[in-house]
Each structure stands twice: as C-alpha cells, then as structure tokens.
Amino acid sequence: DAKTTQPNSMESNEEEPVHLPCNHSTISGTDYIHWYRQLPSQGPEYVIHGLTSNVNNRMASLAIAEDRKSSTLILHRATLRDAAVYYCILRGSGGSNYKLTFGKGTLLTVNP
Amino acid sequence: NAGVTQTPKFRILKIGQSMTLQCTQDMNHNYMYWYRQDPGMGLKLIYYSVGAGITDKGEVPNGYNVSRSTTEDFPLRLELAAPSQTSVYFCASSYSTGTSSYEQYFGPGTRLTVT
C-alpha cells in the first residue's frame, strides 16, 4: 500500500481556517485520497475523498496538488468540535479496494 | 438508522477468559470489519467479511475468530484473553459493488482490558 506522511500534531484557533497537509509521493494513478477523522472516544468518521480535482462538501474541502504527491484538507472555520485525529488514507479504485490502512494521523487541537 | 452498534462498551477480562464482542449494522452493507486501536496508534484490521458466510484475515488476526451468519451481524470472539489484547475494538461496515467501494461507517467502540 502507498504510504502517507502527516504531521503528528497541529494547533488552530476557533473560527480560523485550518490546513492539514498530507504527503503521498508514491501514490499510484488509480489511488483515491481519503480523509477520516476520529473525535475523542469515538470511532472514525468519513470526511471527504478525491482523485484529481479539488472537492468540497459540507464538512471540508480537499485540495489536491497537480502532481498528486500531496493534498491538503481544509476546514474553513474550525470549531471546538473539530478537535480530532485526522487520517489521510490512500485507497485504490474499484470494488475490490475496500480496505483502509490507518497511520497515526494528525492530532488537531482547537483553541477557544 | 442506528448505524453500527457495538456491545459491550467496556469490559474487563481475566487472562485466559473468553468473550464475544457484538457488532450489528442496519444499513444493509455487505462488507464488515473489525479493527483494534492501541493507545496513540492508528487502527489495525483484525478480520473482515465481504458477505454472509465469507470472512478473511486482516493484518492482526492471531487470538481472534469471527463468523458472519447474517448480513447484519459480525461478532468477534476472543478465546483465551491475553494482556496484549487490551485495546479499543471498532467494528465498521461499508457497501461495495464490483466496481466501487464506498466509505466505511464505524461503531462507537468497545474498550477491553485484560488483566
């Protein structure tokens, strides 16, 4: 499985934007970039995913570099509820690529 | 929809005891998974199932067994508990077709301590 590299931790202030980086220099052409997050004492939850183009949903935006070797998860206005561990995961396309491989992720702290 | 439910929430086992962690999903997902998460680490896949009657090993299957007799249920069995199995266990489910896989939905977890 292609690996991802994320900072161990990041800090943000409430109501400010947060940019969470992820490096994946060995990504293959068919790998999707997925983001999950894990709030304290809860199971992970899906945030967003993309292949080549930037993606937006109600939770976040995903900006993907043109060479696809890195991506950035953007939380437009951080709230205290966004404090969590954020995981960047590569997953192949197709019905047979259903497994997720979790690294340690980035622990996001949001200051009031 | 309740999503993915897990029982119990907490459990303390003595070394050598056995127990079953229950997992149920009501989303009619065909795929189900069991993960464990040790402190400060990411999740590791224990076992998974691609449909009723079909299971396969993940990354860390030793010491565990699973079965999948229905679409909804995917219990995880610990036969002889060891301190190394102290962890938080998460069940998840997802829908996959022949051409696409969709996001996984996770349960709230079971915190297990073996002493």
Determine the Cα–Cα distance for residues B17 and B10; give it in Å rounded to an integer.
15
* Residue that has been written with the tokens 């224990």 in this structure: B46
Asked if A94 and B31 come within 8 Å (Cβ–Cβ), the reply is: no
- Across-strand partners of A5? A23
- Contact predicate A85/A102, CB 8 Å: no
Residues 61-80 of B with CB under 8 A from A: none
Would you state the pLDDT for residue A81? 96
CA dihedral over B83, B88, B89, B95, signed as positive or negative: negative
Question: CA–CA separation, A10 vs B93, rounded Å?
Answer: 30
Q: pLDDT tens digits for B7-40? A: 999 999 999 999 999 999 999 999 999 999 998 8
Please list the ranges in chain B whose pLDDT falls under 70: none
Instruction: Report the pLDDT value the prediction gives residue B30, as an integer from 0 to 100.
Output: 94
Q: What residues of chain B lie within 8 A of the CB of A101, using their CB?
A: 45
Q: Which residues in chain B are closer than 8 Å to A41, comparing Cβ atoms? A: 109
Cβ separation of B109 and A41 shorter than 8 Å? yes
pLDDT band at A92, cuts 50/70/90? confident
Structure confidence by residue, pLDDT tens digits, A29-79? 888 999 999 999 999 999 999 999 999 999 999 999 999 999 999 999 999
> What pLDDT does residue A47 have?
97
